[in-house]
């Protein structure tokens, strides 16, 4: 979720709570004042009625009902000065139903005569007023929230514009191309400080990348040369007259040199992939590459009398670096042959729905999660434990997925290539 939307949510939620509380308080206060006004008006009418009864003697002997709801009734005896005010409902002929009223009842002495007077004030106006207040507050709340939302978006887009510009600069930043990143200045000091730190960071990353790349290239060249010299001198020593102890020592040293050379090449390969030094992509006929690899490994396959089962679609193209594709297939197929059984099976499947390499073999010593870890050798003492780690790194590099499982006495490696990197020549030709 974008920061602007998240902040708007919090602001709108807080605004709604404040508006609801304020609206409830305002409605209560208005209704309270209106209610007091009705009561005060009824008390005023009470004093006016007393004046009328005193000045108009002819009204004193009548039982009258007039006005909104004013009832004057002579009574035999005055009993109390108490004023009773209650809310009740009275049938209304015009409304044809009961409507709410406030009823005030009291007794009064006028010229020595007693009267019971009832004043009733209709409260329907109060309910309508409450509804009007709530509707008005609702409209005001909607207007405030809408204005707040759009104004906040407008102000935020203006204020956060330098941040988005810096983000776009980082998105287009490429270590391969290098160069200095240019961040625009802003009126906001915090964004200027952020841009300055980002500029320092990208410069440092670029320098570190160049240094690491130079180190990798130098290591690849400088290390292999002395290892080759050591290997050649050890091989020359093997041709001289040696006793059995000396021979075994030289063979052990030569084996260690070979392992060190392989390990060096594997680690350099992993570093180069991490540094994205194999960025060149091509459309490769993966089926033909598989068949060529199988032909090159035919001697090793036949030496273990392995039965090869192929299901390869030559029309499928895969978009990836050719050097990485060659290493990927070599490591997977070599691993399947190396850990296969005598008279075992090797299944190679490459279709639109499946890319799978499976070989018969003993149950694994390593868990499926450990198979692709570096320096995990399993049961093979001569392995350096980097072959499948390189496979995993290549798979991640092209955005694919690989899965290992042991089922039906077979080690199965399944690869899922992204749809964008897998092209069917036949479908492409039909569409064209």
Instruction: Report d(CA 176, CA 276) in Å as an integer.
Output: 8
Q: Is 221 exposed, middle or buried (0-12, 13-18, 19+ CB in 10 A)?
A: exposed
Highest mean predicted confidence (pLDDT) among 67-76, 179-188, 308-317: 308-317
- The stretch 109-119 carries a mean pLDDT of 79
Please report the pLDDT score of residue 343 as a whole number. Answer: 92
Which pLDDT belongs to residue 306?
A: 92
**SS (HEC) of 24-73:** HHHHHHHHHHHHHHHHHHHHHHHHHHHHHHHHCHHHCCCCEEECCCEEEE
Average pLDDT over residues 169-173: 81
pLDDT in tens, 314-342: 888 888 888 889 989 998 999 899 889 99
Closest by CA position to 19, among listed 109, 195, 137: 137
Is 428's pLDDT higher than 80?
no
**Entry pTM:** 0.52
Report the alpha-carbon distance of residue 225 to residue 212 in Å, rounded: 20
Domain 3-155 in CATH 3.30.450? yes
The CA angle 326-356-386, to the nearest 5 degrees, is 50
Q: What is the mean pLDDT of residues 406-429?
A: 79
pLDDT in tens, 227-273: 788 888 888 888 877 788 888 888 888 888 887 777 777 777 777 77
Return the domain boundaries, the chain. 3-155, 190-274, 282-431
Taking the domain 190-274, which CATH number applies? 1.20.58
Q: Is the pLDDT of residue 380 over 70?
A: no
If one compares 88 and 349, the residue with the highest pLDDT of the two is 349
Residue 301 has pLDDT above 70, yes or no: yes
Computed over every residue of the chain, the mean pLDDT equals: 79
The class (CATH top level) of 282-431 is alpha beta
pLDDT at residue 51 in the model: 67
DSSP-H helix ranges across 275-321 = 286-296, 298-303
Q: Which residues make Cβ contacts (< 8 Å) with residue 149, sequence separation at least 6?
A: 8, 12
Distances (CA, A) of 273 to 10, 16, 203, 280, 390: 44, 53, 22, 12, 9
């Amino acid at each position: 979720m974008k920061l602007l939307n998240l902040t708007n949510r919090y602001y709108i939620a807080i605004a709604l709570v404040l508006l609801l509380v304020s609206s409830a308080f305002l409605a209560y206060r208005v209704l309270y004042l209106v209610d007091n006004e009705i009561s005060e008006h009824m008390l005023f009418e009470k004093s006016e009625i007393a004046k009328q009864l005193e000045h108009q003697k002819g009204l004193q002997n009548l039982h009258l009902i007039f006005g909104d709801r004013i009832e004057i009734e002579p009574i035999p005896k005055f009993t109390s000065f108490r004023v009773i005010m209650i809310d009740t409902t009275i049938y209304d002929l015009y409304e044809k139903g009961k409507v709410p009223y406030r009823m005030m009842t009291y007794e009064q002495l006028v010229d020595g005569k007693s009267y019971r007077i009832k004043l009733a004030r209709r409260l329907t106006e109060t309910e309508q007023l409450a509804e009007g207040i709530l509707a008005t507050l609702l409209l005001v709340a909607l207007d405030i929230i809408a204005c707040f939302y759009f104004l906040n978006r407008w102000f935020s887009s203006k204020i956060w514009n330098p941040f988005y510009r810096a983000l776009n600069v980082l998105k287009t930043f490429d270590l391969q191309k290098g160069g200095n990143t240019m961040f625009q200045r802003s009126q906001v000091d915090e964004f200027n400080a952020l841009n300055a730190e980002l500029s320092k960071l990208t410069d440092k990353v670029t320098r570190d990348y160049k240094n690491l790349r130079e180190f990798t290239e130098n290591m690849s060249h400088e290390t292999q040369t002395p290892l080759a010299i050591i290997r050649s001198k050890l091989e020359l020593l093997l041709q001289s007259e040696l006793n059995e102890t000396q021979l075994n020592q030289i063979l052990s040293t030569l084996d260690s040199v070979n392992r060190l050379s392989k390990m060096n090449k594997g680690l350099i390969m992993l570093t180069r992939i991490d540094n994205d030094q194999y960025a060149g992509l091509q459309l490769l006929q993966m089926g033909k590459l598989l068949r060529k690899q199988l032909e090159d490994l035919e001697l090793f396959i036949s030496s273990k009398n392995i039965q090869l089962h192929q299901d390869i679609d030559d029309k499928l193209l895969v978009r990836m670096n050719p050097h990485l594709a060659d290493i990927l297939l070599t490591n997977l197929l070599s691993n399947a042959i190396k850990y296969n059984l005598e008279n075992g099976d090797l299944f190679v499947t490459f279709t639109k729905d499946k890319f799978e390499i499976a070989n018969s073999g003993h149950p694994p010593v390593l868990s499926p999660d450990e198979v692709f870890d570096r320096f995990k050798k399993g049961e093979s003492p001569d392995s350096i434990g980097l072959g499948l780690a390189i496979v995993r790194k290549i798979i991640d590099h092209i955005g694919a997925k690989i899965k290992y499982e042991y089922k039906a006495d077979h080690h199965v490696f399944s690869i899922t290539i992204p749809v964008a990197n897998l092209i069917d020549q036949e479908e492409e030709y039909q569409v064209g």
